[in-house]
Amino acid sequence: MTTKCHHLYSFLLLAIPALVSTYTYGQDVQELKLKDYRPVSIYKTPQANIMKAKYPAIDLHTHDYPKTDAEVDNWVSIMNEVGVEKSVILSYNTGAAFDAIVKKYSRYPDRFEVWCGFDYTGMDQPDWSQRAVAELVRCHQMGARGVGELGDKGLGELYSKPTPGLGMHINDPRMKPLLAKCAELGMPISIHVAEDAWMYLPADPSNDGLMNAAKWKVDMTKPGILDHDQLVTTLEEAVRDNPKTTFIACHLANCNADLNQLGKLLDRYPNLYADVSARYAEFAPIPRFAKAFMEKYSDRLVYGTDMGFSTEMYRTTFRILESADEHFYELNRFGYHWPLYGLDLSPKTLKKMYYGNARRIMGR
161 within a domain of the structure (yes/no): yes
Q: Is the pLDDT of residue 363 over 60?
A: yes
Q: Is the pLDDT of residue 7 over 50?
A: no
Structure confidence at residue 27 (pLDDT): 67
Which pLDDT band holds residue 357 (cuts at 50, 70, 90)?
very high
Spatial contact of 235 and 193, defined as CB atoms under 8 Å apart = yes
Which pLDDT band holds residue 24 (cuts at 50, 70, 90)?
very low
Average pLDDT, the chain: 92
Judged by phi (left if over 0) then psi (alpha if -120 to 50, else beta), residue 154 lies in left
342 within a domain of the structure (yes/no): yes
330 within a domain of the structure (yes/no): yes
As to burial, measured by CB atoms within 10 angstroms (0-12 exposed, 13-18 middle, 19+ buried), residue 13 is: exposed
As to burial, measured by CB atoms within 10 angstroms (0-12 exposed, 13-18 middle, 19+ buried), residue 25 is: exposed
Q: Where in the sequence is the domain holding 131, given as residue range(s)?
A: 45-362
233 within a domain of the structure (yes/no): yes
Give how far the C-alpha of residue 321 lies from the chain's centroid of Cα atoms, to the nearest Å: 15
327 CB neighbour count, 10 Å cutoff: 13
Q: Is the pLDDT of residue 132 over 70?
A: yes
Residue pLDDT, tens place only, 164-220:
999 999 999 999 999 999 999 999 999 999 999 999 999 999 999 988 888 889 999
Q: Is the pLDDT of residue 129 over 70?
A: yes
Give Cα separations from 137 to 119, 187, 188, 239, 357 (angstroms). Answer: 11, 10, 14, 21, 25
Structure confidence at residue 26 (pLDDT): 60
**Mean pLDDT across the stretch 123-128?**
93
Q: Is the pLDDT of residue 130 over 70?
A: yes
Residue pLDDT, tens place only, 228-254:
999 999 999 999 999 999 999 999 999
> What's the rounded Cα separation, in Å, for the pair 21 and 240?
60
> What's the rounded Cα separation, in Å, for the pair 194 and 251?
10
30 within a domain of the structure (yes/no): no
Structure confidence at residue 30 (pLDDT): 85
Q: Is the pLDDT of residue 2 over 70?
A: no
**Mean pLDDT across the stretch 58-70?**
97
Q: Would you say the C-alpha torsion 309, 312, 313, 317 has a positive or negative sign?
A: positive
Q: How many domains does the chain have?
A: 1
Structure confidence at residue 29 (pLDDT): 83
Angle at which helix 95-105 crosses helix 69-82, to 10 degrees, equals 60
311 within a domain of the structure (yes/no): yes
Lowest-confidence segment of 26-40, 159-173, 220-234 by average pLDDT: 26-40
**Mean pLDDT across the stretch 111-137?**
96
CATH number at residue 261: 3.20.20.140
Structure confidence at residue 364 (pLDDT): 56
Residue pLDDT, tens place only, 253-286:
999 999 999 999 999 999 999 999 999 999 999 9
167 within a domain of the structure (yes/no): yes
327 within a domain of the structure (yes/no): yes
- The CB-based long-range contact list for 214-217 (8 Å cut-off, 24+ gap) reads 215/335
Beta bridge partners of 90: 115
More confident residue, 159 or 134: 134
Q: How many helices (H) and strands (E) does the chain have?
A: 14, 10
More confident residue, 315 or 25: 315
